[in-house]
Amino acid sequence: LRRAALERFRLEEQHRREQERRIELERERLEEERRRREEEESRAAARNRERQARMARIQALVGRFEETLKRMDREISDSFTILDEASGRLARAGERAADEIAERRRSVATALDDSMTLTGELGELAKGLSRLAADHNRSDEAVQEALEQVDQAVEAVRRFVEVAAEIDAMTGLINEIAERTNLLALNATIEAARAGEAGRGFAVVAGEVKSLAAQTARATAEIEQRVAALRASSGAAETAVQKVGSAIDEMGALFQRTLEDLSNRGRMSTEAAARLERLVERMRESLTLVEQLAEVVDGMQASGDEIVAAIRKVGREHGRLKEEVAELLADAEAIA
């Protein structure tokens, strides 16, 4: 009985301890569930706070992004306006530049034609001056030859004057001889008259001699007159020839100066033609440069048109991007 009571007591005690143990386990389970529930609620609250903070940051970021996009949109719109105006000015400037270059090209072409014509005229003028200088040179040679002939004529006149002087001296001697002969004939006539009949023949001879002396004297006088007239004419001729020589000398000097002037003018015309030819070459180069510049301006106009088209395309793309960003912001606000 005692053992049964002890066994019952042991069993009851064991049952009690098992009950307590089950109660303790249940209490621990409930405590663990409570702790897990509190931790879950704490984590959920933390997640909620984190989500709310994240949404607040997203909303703030979306707001800043929206403001930034609005500011960028205004700046881009202003930039597009400025670019559009600039492209318009560029197009107008290109058109004006093209018109001015075309005008310059026409002006340069006209000036080139005029310069080429003037070059030809200067070349012809230089050739004409060269021919005139050559003719003038031949005229100068003719003048020099005339001067030589005049000098020869002056020398001949001088020799003639000298010969006339010699003739004058000889006529003087002949006249003196005639006078002496006449005197001798007179003496012979006187002596023949004294001789009478015997000197009659001698008287006839003396008369003939006297007559011959008289004729010689008259001829000598006439020769002297003619020689005097010839000497006067020779002096006048010498003076005239000397004047002609002086005039020809002056003419030769004038021809020489004219020849030098023509040579200088011909050289100047040749040099001017050469300079004008170089100028024509430079004008050709300038015309080539103007044409190249016109091609560059045409390329600039084409590039300007491409830039304008690209700007307008970017403007359209910006409009579509603006719409997509607006939709994105709306979706972000809806998600927030």
Q: What angle do CA 7, 10, 13 make, to 5 degrees?
A: 150
Q: What is the mean pLDDT of residues 145-156?
A: 63
Q: What is the mean pLDDT of residues 188-208?
A: 62
| Verdict on whether the full-model pTM lies above 0.75 | no
Q: Where are the domains of the chain?
A: 90-335
What is the rounded distance in angstroms from the CA atom of residue 207 to the CA atom of residue 170?
A: 25
Predicted local confidence at residue 53, as pLDDT: 85
Give the Cβ contact number of residue 3 at 10 Å: 7
Q: What is the mean pLDDT of residues 84-100?
A: 70
Predicted local confidence at residue 70, as pLDDT: 75
Q: Which residues contact 180 (CB under 8 A, 6 or more apart)?
A: none
Predicted local confidence at residue 184, as pLDDT: 63
Predicted local confidence at residue 63, as pLDDT: 74
What is the rounded distance in angstroms from the CA atom of residue 209 to the CA atom of residue 178?
A: 10
Mean pLDDT, the chain, integer: 68
Most confident of 6-10, 28-32, 222-226, 237-241: 28-32
The candidate with the shortest Cα–Cα distance to 112, out of 335, 288, 243, 258, is 288
Cα atoms found within 13 Å of the Cα of residue 106, Cβ hemisphere only? 5
End-to-end CA distance of the chain: 80
State yes or no: pLDDT of 166 exceeds 80. no
Q: Which residue carries 């879950």 as its tokens?
A: 40
State yes or no: pLDDT of 202 exceeds 60. no
- How is domain 90-335 classified at the architecture level of CATH? Orthogonal Bundle (1.10)
State yes or no: pLDDT of 92 exceeds 80. no
| Three-state helix/strand/coil letters over 209-275 | HHHHHHHHHHHHHHHHHHHHHHHHHHHHHHHHHHHHHHHHHHHHHHHHHHHHHHHHHHHHHHHHHHH
Predicted local confidence at residue 103, as pLDDT: 75
Q: What is the mean pLDDT of residues 156-176?
A: 64
What is the rounded distance in angstroms from the CA atom of residue 32 to the CA atom of residue 160?
A: 174
| pLDDT tens string 296-330 | 556 655 655 665 665 566 566 656 656 665 666 56
